[in-house]
Chains A and B, each alone.
Chain A
Amino acid sequence: MREKIKEQIDLLKAKGAHYVDARWYPREDSNFLFMWNGNLKENNASSQSGMGVRVLYNGAWGFSASSDLTNPNAIFDRAFDNARIAAERVTFPIRLAEKEAITGSFTSPNQVDPFTVGLDQKVAFLQKMDAALNQTGVIQRFGMLEFVRKQIIFLDSEGSEIEKNIIEVFASIHAVGIDKDGGMQRRKYSPGRTGPTRGWESINETDFLANAERIVSELNQVLVAEDAPNGKMSVILLNGIMFLQTHETIGHALELDRILGYELSFAGGSFVRLEDFGKLRYGSEKLTARANALEPNSPGSFGFDDDGVPAQDNLLIDKGILVGAITGRQMVEEANAKAKKQIFEGSSGANRATSFYRVPIERMTNINIDPGTDGSLEDIIANTKYGVVLDGDKSWSIGSNREQFHFACDIGWLVEDGQKKQVVKNPTYRGETLPFYNSLSAVGDESTWNVHYVENCGKGAPNQIMQLGHGVPVCRFDNVQVGE
């Protein structure tokens, strides 16, 4: 197949294509198990294979994909035809940033391939979790396991040939109860990624059982708690909500395709403008954020993106100042041209597609916040006059330019005069992105930092789901509107 692909790439180049690439997925397997109140409701295996072809012709993209590989020439021809019609309406001819032609491979680090683990063992794990959650106060219990294994062969007209073999493991448990006022409440647990690998071994049964006890205990406290207060106060965001805050208001806001207006008909734009790079005070000096696709244990690390650019670790925000973005080859060229200066030195290697039948777009890698110097969670609480500690991503809604947001959390703990007090229920908070990050007053140290994965980030038209990660510490923000 590789030779056939190379032949077709050469043929389209001869026909006038400026650039051609193909992503051939010989096989992608997944396995999903979902247990609800002891019943194994989903026990699904799936597989797919196919090819997606991208053609750049006269400054415009055409793409085609099919699961029918008996005649791969047809996919190339359709992609070329699609590019030809797209070239009839071009305002800024697409150019691609320079890159090296790479022959390479990437295998995600794992000790145990989850597809070699028997179904009995996976079901037994869920049964143990179900039993652990089956306690007083819990009316609904969920356990989920998802495994993905994919092989991707990338070839392009610039001479790159890359093979990726990636395994991902996602696991979570959830407990639901009804509070004293009749409201549904929940706590959930999905482990932070602490080890060097991301295979079946990343599911630590002992850790899950301990956390099952913890979330049931916390749920029962929520069930009898009063509502969170309403008003301006400090919020201390634990990893279970800080990852999402980072995701929604740093990650998406700094995707260069959004900044350049390529997502306006669906996901939205960004409040960030090209002239902001190097100048905009995004947050307080305590905020340093980066796109680090080199974390070993996260789905946001993939070796090479779908432009064939090596994964990287790049600063986005340096001590509060905006310095970088999440970029691919096309967008950096356009941004530099529109800004009439070189903002970006090259692609940051963040152009990814969810499957063979979708085109790559700018996606988050691991959008991390560096640990700070404000000590442990206990230290931060001890230095807080009045506020609330928040955890759990119950609900999130963000403005179309990522300029403002509203989050609801699963649980809160009041903090008064440096003391962690009682649990409160139904906590929400909202704010405007820039004032919020400029109110960042404490960043926890390494002891508070871990990588939290996101398995369902949606973006793009046609829509794409992507997996990625966020390494975040505990953070405190002051003067935040809580309630509503």
Chain B
Amino acid sequence: MSNQVIDLLQRLRQTALNKGLQALITYHEEDSYLMRFANSAISLNTNEHLISLDYIAFDGRKKVSYSMIADPTDFESMEKGLDILAEMLPHAQALSYDPTFPVYAKDVLDERAFDPALAALTNEERLAYFNTLAGSLESDDVKLSGIFSNGTTTTAQISTANEHVQYFRSTDAQVTAVLSSESLKWEVNAEQSAQKKSDLDAEGLHADLALLVKHYQEDEAVQLPVGKYTVVLGPAATAELGNIMTYYGMTGGALMQGYSFLKEEDQGKLLFSEKIHLVDDPREVEIYAQNADRFGLERKPFPLISEGRFQAFMWDQDSADEFGKTPTGHDVSHTSLVMDGGEKSVASLKDLLEMDRDEDILYVPYIHYMNVVNPTQGMVTGSSRFGALYLKKDGSVQVPYNVRLTQRFSDFFGERVQWMSKEQVAYNVSSSYGRRDPTALKVPRFICVKEIEISHSNPSY
């Protein structure tokens, strides 16, 4: 734990009190590194060190906020932010409900997801990792792209209610490596999520890429007819679907805004395959779990789907305040979703290719540009990308041009689920649009689903 951060928060708290403010103060620090590859070269090597402060002031039913990217040595600017907040507060409109002001009952320190070795990773190590995963797979036509993003994220919170501080620190890495044909425009990828340095496995990514490149270079490319297919989803596809499904469907806010495909009376109903168990699990350090939310609620395993039955909506504090619900510890920047593994041992792409099959199978590792077509129906659309394979019943393999899937969540995770891998992998879904916020899901390596409709099929790569 950084005493400097704690000291800063205590100083800001005292300043807020001196100004007569009832406030929540949040500190966010990121030390981010990103090495980006394109056309087999490092196209950008960057790092950012940013410190942000978020203030929320409360006055009865009035609430205003102020955020800043701060110079850590410029306390005057930080103090000015509190002045701005104080100026805004009288002009705020009172809410129609009583917002909860956070009062921390104890200090919280959670550095379980921090690994000093990953935090200290060097430029040379990032480059060596990429050189290893690429191996000899590049050529005049086959080019390497990708990113190696890693960093350290520190968040800390204090409220003017007392001197207790919540402090979280984690390290994360997100690796995406793409090999693509410049002439044919096919592209395959391999990805990795890491919380500690020892998670990094360049050789494993190399093996996946080598296998996919071999198939894309040697096997017949086909335009699949539109229609229904038995589809095996890779971890990227499963994680993105799971992430969007919970965001749109399983939060109290989405329910009240009318965006959820689930209703309050659905709680307890069998709506998914009995093979599906989905839990938000703050014990899972590998996927950057935190043990308390922003309002100081202890986070505990929160089942969302158990044996196919939808269990409950996640309520953040503000939605709970407004709609008279009990908050569930979900005032967090990211959840830690875990989908349990299934009954079949299929741990790698090689295993999938080698397993006996009595029907043709379309392997969809990744769904590109997924979007919700109809929220009430839970219908999403997206296109296959990055190494789809068509595994023929006779044991041969074809390379399908990308296809579009437009289906409901209940199609992907409902009674059409055939089998799921026992083995799970962490898949990193972090975006870097705003501040660093490492987010990952733990999902089965593969999920096989029958009767998934392909509505469009590209005529070429």
Q: List chain A positions with a Cβ less than 8 A from chain B.
A: 35-36, 38-50, 60-70, 78, 81-83, 85-92, 118-120, 123, 127, 139-140, 176, 178, 182-184, 260-266, 268-269, 271, 357, 359, 394-401, 403-404, 406, 408, 426, 428, 430, 432, 458, 461-465, 484
Known contacts A68-B72, A86-B45, A265-B145: does B458 contact A43 (CB below 8 Å)?
A: no
- Given A183-B374, A395-B372, A400-B383, residue A265 in contact with residue B46 (CB < 8 A): no
B50 cross-chain contacts in A, Cβ below 8 A: 50, 65-67, 357
Given contacts A67-B70, A82-B47, A462-B32, contact A92 B37 (CB under 8 A): no
The docked-state distance in angstroms from the alpha carbon of A118 to that of B87 is: 11
A458 touches B65 (CB 8 A): no
Check A269 against B185 for contact (C-beta < 8 Å): yes
Contact segment of B160-168, B230-238, B363-371, B416-424? B363-371
- Contact at A404–B456, with CB atoms within 8 Å? yes
A463 contact set on B, CB distance < 8 A: 431-433
Distance in angstroms between the alpha carbons of A325 and B63 in the assembled complex: 46
Q: Give the residues in chain B near A91, CB-CB below 8 Å.
A: 39-41
B49 & A68 in contact (Cβ 8 Å cutoff):
yes
Interface pair B45/A85, CB less than 8 Å apart: yes
A401 with B406, Cβ < 8 A, contacts A63-B45, A178-B258 known: no
Instruction: Decide: A426 and B36 in contact? CB cutoff 8 A.
Output: no
Task: Flag if B368 contacts A400 (CB, 8 Å).
Answer: yes
Are A86's CB and B63's CB within 8 A?
no
- Asked, given contacts A70-B71, A118-B91, whether A83 binds B39 with beta carbons under 8 Å apart, the answer is no
- With an 8 A cutoff between CB atoms, is B121 at the interface? no
Residues of A within 8 A of B91 (CB): 118-120, 123
**Total residues of chain B contacting the partner, CB 8 A:** 88
A265 touches B374 (CB 8 A): no
Pick from A64, A118, A182, A269: contact of B376, CB below 8 A. A182
Task: Please give 11 more A-B residue pairs, beta carbons under 8 A apart, in addition to A45-B65, A265-B177, A400-B402.
Answer: A45-B64, A45-B66, A49-B69, A50-B69, A67-B69, A82-B46, A89-B37, A120-B91, A265-B37, A359-B46, A395-B371
B92 touches A40 (CB 8 A): yes
70-107 of chain B: CB within 8 A of chain A: 70-73, 81, 84-85, 88, 91-93, 95-97
Knowing A69-B71, A463-B433 are in contact, say whether A86-B49 is a contact too (CB < 8 A): no
A251 to B130, CA, bound (A): 31
Choose one: A65, A68, A426; the contact of B73 (CB below 8 Å).
Answer: A68
Counting chain B CB atoms within 10 Å of each CB, which of A35, A82, A182 scores highest? A82
Per-residue CB proximity of B327-346 to A under 8 Å, as 1/0? 00000000000000000000
26 cross-chain CB contacts under 8 A: A43-B65, A49-B69, A60-B41, A63-B45, A68-B72, A70-B71, A85-B45, A85-B123, A86-B35, A120-B91, A123-B92, A176-B257, A261-B38, A261-B145, A262-B38, A265-B146, A265-B189, A266-B176, A269-B187, A357-B69, A399-B404, A400-B385, A401-B461, A408-B373, A462-B46, A484-B406
- The docked-state distance in angstroms from the alpha carbon of A110 to that of B141 is 50
State whether the Cβ of B455 lies closer than 8 Å to any Cβ in chain A.
yes
Cα-based distance from A135 to B257 in the complex (angstroms): 16
Asked if B88 and A265 sit within 8 Å, CB to CB, the answer is no
Chain B binding surface SS class? strand
How far does the Cβ of A38 sit from chain B's closest Cβ, in whole Å? 7
Q: Which residue of A lies closest to B67 (CB)?
A: A46
Question: B8 in the interface, Cβ–Cβ < 8 Å?
Answer: no
Residues of B close to A395: CB separation below 8 A:
371-374, 381
Chain A residues positioned under 8 Å from B70 (CB to CB): 67
B 171-197 to A, binary, CB cutoff 8 A, 1 in contact else 0: 000001110101001010100000000
Looking at the complex, which one of B93, B124, B376, B383 makes contact with A397 (CB distance below 8 Å)?
Answer: B383
Closest Cβ–Cβ distance, residue B22 to chain A (whole Å) = 15
Check if B45 sits within 8 Å of A46, measured CB to CB.
Answer: no
With CB as the reference atom, state the residue of chain A lying closest to B92: A43
Measured CB to CB, the nearest residue on chain A to B257 is A140
Beyond A127-B93, A260-B39, whether A66 also contacts B45 by CB under 8 A is no
Query: A176 — which chain B residues lie within 8 A by C-beta?
Result: 257-258
Q: How far is the CB of A274 from chain B (nearest CB, A)?
A: 11
CA distance A90 to B187 in the complex (A): 21
Q: Which residues of A lie under 8 Å from residue B458 when comparing CB positions?
A: 399, 403-404
Q: Closest residue of chain B to A465, judged by CB?
A: B433
* Closest B residue by C-beta to A36: B257
Is the C-beta of B259 less than 8 angstroms from some C-beta in chain A?
yes
Are A39 and B258 in touch, CB under 8 angstroms?
A: no
Residues of A within 8 A of B95 (CB): 39-41
CB-defined contacts of A38 to chain B, threshold 8 Å: 96
**Inside 8 A of B81's CB, which chain A residues have their CB?**
47
**Could you say which of A64, A65, A88 contacts B127, with CB atoms under 8 Å apart?**
A88
When chains A and B are docked, how far (Å) is the Cα of A265 from the Cα of B458? 20
Task: Given A81-B123, A404-B383, check contact A265 B93 (CB 8 Å).
Answer: no
Most B Cβ at <10 Å: residue of A40, A42, A43, A403: A43
Task: Please provide the 8 A-B residue pairs with the shortest distance between their CB atoms, ordered closest to farther.
Answer: A48-B69, A46-B67, A86-B42, A119-B91, A462-B432, A82-B45, A63-B46, A86-B45
B408 contacts the other chain (Cβ, under 8 Å)?
Answer: no
B377-435 CB contacts (< 8 Å) to partner A: 377, 381-383, 385, 402, 404, 406, 431-433
Complex alpha-carbon distance, A184 and B50, angstroms: 40
Contacts of B36 in A (CB 8 A): 265, 461
The interface residues of chain A lying within 8 Å CB-to-CB of B84 are 45
- Give, as a whole number of angstroms, the nearest-CB distance from B374 to chain A: 6
Query: How far does the Cβ of B257 sit from chain A's closest Cβ, in whole Å?
Result: 6
**B145 → chain A, closest Cβ, in Å?**
4
**Residues of chain A lying within 8 A (CB to CB) of residue B406:** 406, 484
Per the 8 Å Cβ criterion, residues 99-147 of B in contact with A are: 123-124, 127, 130-131, 143, 145-147
Does B48 sit at the interface, judged by CB under 8 A?
Answer: yes
- The interface residues of chain A lying within 8 Å CB-to-CB of B88 are 43, 45, 119
Q: Name the distance in Å between B158's Cβ and chain A's nearest Cβ.
A: 19
Give the distance in Å from the alpha carbon of A69 to the alpha carbon of B49 in the complex.
Answer: 11
CB distance A428 to B71 under 8 Å? no
Interface flags for B297-331 (1: CB within 8 Å of A; 0: not) read 00000000000000000000010001000000000
- CA of A127 to CA of B458, assembled, Å: 48
Kindly provide the distance from the CB of A375 to the nearest chain B CB, expressed in whole angstroms. Answer: 33
B212 interface residue (CB < 8 Å to A): no
Residue of A nearest to B96 (CB): A39
B43 interfacial by beta-carbon distance below 8 Å: yes
B68 part of interface (Cβ distance < 8 Å): yes
> Is A401 touching B185 in the complex (CB atoms < 8 A)?
yes
Find the B residue at minimum CB distance from A43: B64
